[in-house]
Amino acid sequence: MDITFQAFMAQLTIGLIGGCFYALLSMGLAIIFGLLNIINFTHGAQFMMAAFLAWIGLTQIGPWLGYPDFQINFWVALVLAPLCVALFGMVIERTLLRRLYHLDHLYGLLLTFGVALVMEGAFRYAFGVSGQGYEPPEILQGPIDVGFMLLPKYRVFVVVASLLICFGTWYLFERTKLGAYLRAGTENPRLLQAFGINVPVMITLTYGFGVALAGIAGVLAAPIMQVTPLMGGNLLNIVFAVVVIGGLGSILGAMMTGLALGLIEGLTKVVYPEASTVVVFVIMALALLVRPAGLFGREA
Amino acid sequence: MSNTFKIFLVLIGLALIVPFVPGLIYPVFVMKVMCYGLFACAFNLLLGFTGLVSFAHAAFLGSAGYVTGALMIRFGNHPLGMPAAFAAGVAAAALVGFAIGGLAIRRRGIYFAMITLALSQIIYFLAVQFRWTGGEDGLQGIPRGSLFGLDLSSDTVMYYVTLALFAAGFLFVDRVVHSPFGQILQAVRDNEARATSLGYDTDRFKLLAFVISAAVAGYAGAMKALVFQLVSLNDVSLHTSTEVVLMTLLGGVGTIFGPLLGAGLVVGLQNYLATIGDLVTVVIGLIFIVCVSFFRRGIVGEFLHLRRRRAERGKTRPVLTATRAEAPAVEAA
């Protein structure tokens, strides 16, 4: 194979960036699953919604309001868009999801799926299917020399920011008092409530937090990927495979699996580009044959 | 004669006269409902009677459609072309079902659903990549060929053949549900641990149910390929897998006629709403939310539930039809 070292590293870096998004999304899924026991099929739509909100804030809102020069700063959008999406998610949790907790998981799955359809359909109706996008902030434009190659600064930023958020989340859940409550809620919510913790509020906030992680991923992804109503759904299919491989039992596990599969996908692009879109699914099939319970598994 | 069979005969009787009143209802529409209705029945066999939710059913519908279509394009003129292509399509779907089901039953609950979803993406990818599937174009202008000397290119002949195929498929599903095998499936659905303790190899039964469901979905897909002479990527897409969940949920999970009614409503809705374009997805999503939140038994399920309640109030023995009158079992799982 005559592949230059540069090309190899470039694909690996692209894989790493993809892996960061997988990690953020599967971590959110794992957090939500831990406490709510549902698989959040709306995750992709929420990812997409945050990207759209950021795009609207950065490029559209000025003309809409009649001040063509007005636009929301990228950094503000990075906080605001995930917050809006999280708020929206928490409303859904309070009004719809909450009613289904006593039923089979299947109903939560179907409900979140329905919400995702409504969101995707609404955005497609409003904005069409063509890709949109926005530029990263000026400070992150241009390339940076990372030793072996030149990389756009923004991509480096995405990797660093994602890893920081992942480790922050892990720290929050595994090393703080609040995290202890959350893990206790996963183990035995009724006992935790008996100790005076307001579990229903905790559940709502946890759902919001998981959704916000998807939102952050969405805002970060928008300058790299095309912002379209289907961007989340397509990504979520892969993230589901990631989650099946890693299992939803541990936050660290979800994160590691996400990063690893991103890298593998990048490698596949070097070796056999046609297969790169399905390599994650194939690995999932193999993993199921070898280790059916998942690498960090906890049965649903 | 059971109630189910009476209703079935009435439906077939009504369907028989459809071609004579084209002004009232369009025969092609009825054929579409029959294809999707059988598809939903196949899905219901898995969700309603085995308690497994699959997001891969489009993969079975589509792979059978592709195989049947591709074979008809090549060998459609042969007198035995149509039955052979049809059978090959069903076999292909069963094979894909065996592969996907065999992997998916290794996990339970929501993992099962996610695995079927992920694996169906591989089928979609293959349909895009292969040359014989026509890639983005799909297969167009598939000849219908002939069956026992009957030329199927006429819509009326095709209509009656479709009706016969549909009736056979529907009765087969009904037979499976009410067989001892079907009883075991329902036992697995209601309490898998207990079924295991009674000595049943539940994984084997789940896999067999999955393969049968995939084969019937493929049967519907082969029918659809011949009726519309067209197979496209939409047939293997997640969108189609979603629709079949909706049809079953709307009509009534775990009822015999629910999926049929659901298919009729969803296909009708699509025809009716075709003009609003992207908003169809929104409407479908809203129906999902309403069904799951307020209406978990589905239309047929709610009807049976009401009737049973009334019968109980009258202190008579409930008039149980062959369908399950209680709430969908997934609720109890």
- Residue A274 Cα distances to A228, A266, B130, B212, angstroms: 23, 12, 12, 32
B136 has a pLDDT exceeding 70:
yes
Nearest CA among B173, B209, B170 for reference residue B188? B209
| CB within 8 Å: B114 and A121 | no
The one-letter code for the residue type at B61 is: L
Which residue carries 């026509």 as its tokens?
B134
Residue B238 forms contact with A (CB below 8 Å): yes
Which residue range is the domain that position A203 belongs to?
8-290
Residue A289 forms contact with B (CB below 8 Å): yes
B325 has a pLDDT exceeding 50:
no
Where are the alpha helices (H) located in chain B, listed in sequence order?
3-17, 27-50, 57-75, 81-104, 109-129, 155-178, 180-190, 192-197, 202-228, 238-251, 258-273, 279-294, 298-313
> Closest partner residue to B117 among A107, A237, A277, by Cβ?
A237
Residue A205 domain-assigned (yes or no) = yes
Q: What residues in A contact B125, CB-CB < 8 Å? A: 277-278
A189-203, B104-118, B198-212, B274-288: range with highest mean pLDDT: B198-212
Residues 105-124 of B with CB under 8 A from A: 106-111, 113-115, 117-119, 121-122
Report the relative pairing of strands B146-147 and B139-140 from DSSP bridges.
unpaired
- By CB atoms closer than 10 A (0-12, 13-18, 19+), residue B97 is buried
A281-290, B37-46, B264-273, B297-306: range with highest mean pLDDT: B37-46
> Closest partner residue to A122 among B107, B129, B282, by Cβ?
B282
Residue A281 forms contact with B (CB below 8 Å): yes
A206-255: per-residue pLDDT in tens? 999 999 999 999 999 998 888 999 888 888 888 988 888 887 777 888 88
Q: Which residue has the higher pLDDT, B39 or A100?
A: B39
In eight-state DSSP terms, residue B317 is: P
Q: How many domains does chain A have?
A: 1
What CATH number corresponds to the domain at position A212? 1.10.3470
The pLDDT, as a whole number, for residue B315 is 60
Q: What residues in B contact A40, CB-CB < 8 Å? A: none
Work out the minimum CA distance from A104 to partner chain B, whole angstroms. Answer: 5
Q: Which residue has the higher pLDDT, B184 or A247?
A: B184
Residue A299 domain-assigned (yes or no) = no
Instruction: Output the six-digit token pair for B59.
Output: 């993969």
Q: How confident is the model at residue B317 (pLDDT cuts 50, 70, 90)?
A: low
Residue A295 domain-assigned (yes or no) = no
The one-letter code for the residue type at B100 is: I
Residues 105-124 of A with CB under 8 A from B: 105-107, 109-111, 113-122, 124
Q: How confident is the model at residue A297 (pLDDT cuts 50, 70, 90)?
A: low
> Closest partner residue to A96 among B110, B129, B289, by Cβ?
B289
Across residues B88-92, what is the average pLDDT?
96
Across residues B304-324, what is the average pLDDT?
68
Mutate to test the interface with A, among B120, B276, B278 (most CBs of A within 10 A): B278
How much is the pTM? 0.86
> Closest partner residue to A281 among B119, B282, B293, by Cβ?
B119
Mean pLDDT, rounded, of chain B? 86
Which CATH architecture is the domain B3-16+26-331 placed in?
Answer: Orthogonal Bundle (1.10)
A127 has a pLDDT exceeding 50:
yes
Contact A33, A182 (CB under 8 A): no
B139-180: per-residue pLDDT in tens? 888 888 778 877 777 888 889 999 999 999 999 999 999 999
Across residues A282-300, what is the average pLDDT?
73
Mutate to test the interface with B, among A281, A282, A296, A298 (most CBs of B within 10 A): A281
Q: What percent of chain A has a predicted confidence (pLDDT) above 70?
A: 97
Across residues A38-50, what is the average pLDDT?
93
Across residues B88-94, what is the average pLDDT?
96
Phi, psi of B321 (to 5 degrees): -85, -175
Q: What residues in A contact B103, CB-CB < 8 Å? A: 285, 288-289
Q: Where are the domains of chain B?
A: 3-16+26-331
The pLDDT, as a whole number, for residue A131 is 83
| CB within 8 Å: B238 and A233 | yes
Residue B331 forms contact with A (CB below 8 Å): yes
Residue A144 domain-assigned (yes or no) = yes
Residue A199 forms contact with B (CB below 8 Å): no
B274 has a pLDDT exceeding 60:
yes
Q: What residues in A contact B269, CB-CB < 8 Å? A: none
The one-letter code for the residue type at B302 is: E
B333 has a pLDDT exceeding 60:
no
Q: Which residue of B has its CA nearest to A278?
A: B122
SS3 of A145, please?
Answer: strand
> Closest partner residue to A244 among B111, B279, B288, by Cβ?
B111
